Structure 1
Amino acid sequence: MPELPEVESLSRFLAEHLVGRTVERVYPLAVQALKTYDPPFTALEGGSFAGATRHGKFLDLDAGGLHLVIHLARAGWVRWKEGLPDAPPRPGKGPLALRVRLAGADAAGFDVTEAGTRKRLAVYLVRDPQEVPGIQRLGPDPLSPDFTAAAFTRLMKDEHRQVKGVLRDQGVIAGIGNAYADEILHAARMSPFKPAANLSAEESALLHDTVVTTLAEAVERARGLALQDLKAEKKSGLRVHGRTGEACPVCGDTVREVSFSDWSTQYCPTCQTGGRILADRRMSRLLK
């Protein structure tokens, strides 16, 4: 799933390639992905892109008064194309959800795609990004200067949920998903099931620093990469997430997993839970 670092890299790449370019044609293909209808997506045609930015995990392409906002969900992606075919794409069961063709002799543009059968990609065309419900609900951005240790402590102090769930909650902190929550907690040597409200002042300060550092380093590793290389870069940089059964790169213990209905947590017992193995069920507790 694309998270803050990947969406940040997408926005930087697209800003470099789109600003000043005029939209020639828009092909909205996957009806289930289109979350707005007024203005119609064809209203982009003839407009020019003025910028690209990010709100949490939402990609925001500014087309001069209109904003094409994309949430890539679990399996969505943006693919830059040099030389799109002249023939319009046909709606079907393939991964293509939206195509934007730019004016110019190079026939460049981009496709928004979604792999798999569980279709959760969301595409909006709005006049103000705050019209998107998911953006309205976002918490502070962890790469913002306002995301201080004191602000982070205030967010945590009344949270009796497990700390991983709090980190993943977009209404608390914007942009962190399942993978980077695992990585942050491993780097902070903290159990994913620790209640957030139980963090000491020292633990809260450490976790805040680890959130900022982990995400900033991931953004920096992706700087300058082509879009098709971003997913591989993310995977190669993960130390515990998606590495169940492998050796922890810090201590050598075996990376363990707790599975839930549609997501999982990976962690290192030695680094994070004092050697204890977490029970692999929803109502998990620590086993001795």
Structure 2
Amino acid sequence: MLNISMKTMLEAGVHFGHQTYRWNPKMARFIFGERNGIHILDLQKTVKELKKTYAFMKDSAKEGKRFLFVGTKKQAKDIIREEAQRANVPCVYEKWLGGTLTNFETLKKSLKRFDELEKLEADGLFRVMSKKEVSRLTKEKNRLVKLLSGIRSMKTLPQIMFIVDPIEEGGALSEAKKLNIPVVAVCDTNCDPDALDWAVPGNDDAARSIRLFCATMADAIIEGRAEAEAAKAAAMQPVEAAHDDQQSMMDAPVEERAPESSAEPVKTEE
């Protein structure tokens, strides 16, 4: 359940936008005013949009939808990785590789190669190769570790993408739009909210603000999945109860009945 106070948002600096000359006029409806040449976001509107987005993410998780978190800039990458791991969803936190979504078959080949290299090393085959070959394969493996570790579990395309800074992650946004994958994003005062399916106005540069939004999205996914599991367990109870009742009837002792007489009835003369 979403429970974030205005005080928490203020302390995280969620309300601070960019310098006024860097703004996108489409964000005007979310801006409260300006202070010292900096746009200030209206936190009441941020809370409103965050609640709607939280409900969408939670309901989607409850339905079993697949997610992808994306945030590669310095102040976001570690947070994205940590919160994605907590919610057990794939993430891109180092660099967005062009074609990650739109050329997914090629990505799957890279993931397969990643597995092959790890198996070679685990089986001890690196020890019987030449130093030159080991050096080449190690370099290849380290590159794949850096770029693909976060999406190693992504066997199929995501159904929802969460982005920190849609301007920085323009490549990811573009690919998602081409494939009609809904995009949820933290939207600072320099962003275009109309390019997003779910725009949450907020500071996408300060680490504390980024942490707040990423943790909230992770919480929504975790809560949605927990509700789905609870509903599944509840649905199983009547079935189990009916089975137990049936078993009890089968196991119940049977009363002995007197054998019926097989003799024919005696006829009386009239």
- Give the number of the structure whose alpha-carbon radius of gyration is greater: 2
Greater share of residues in helix: 2
Indicate the structure whose relative CO is greater, using CA pairs within 8 Å and at least 6 residues apart. Answer: 2
Greater share of residues in strand: 1
TM-score class normalised by the smaller sequence: under 0.3
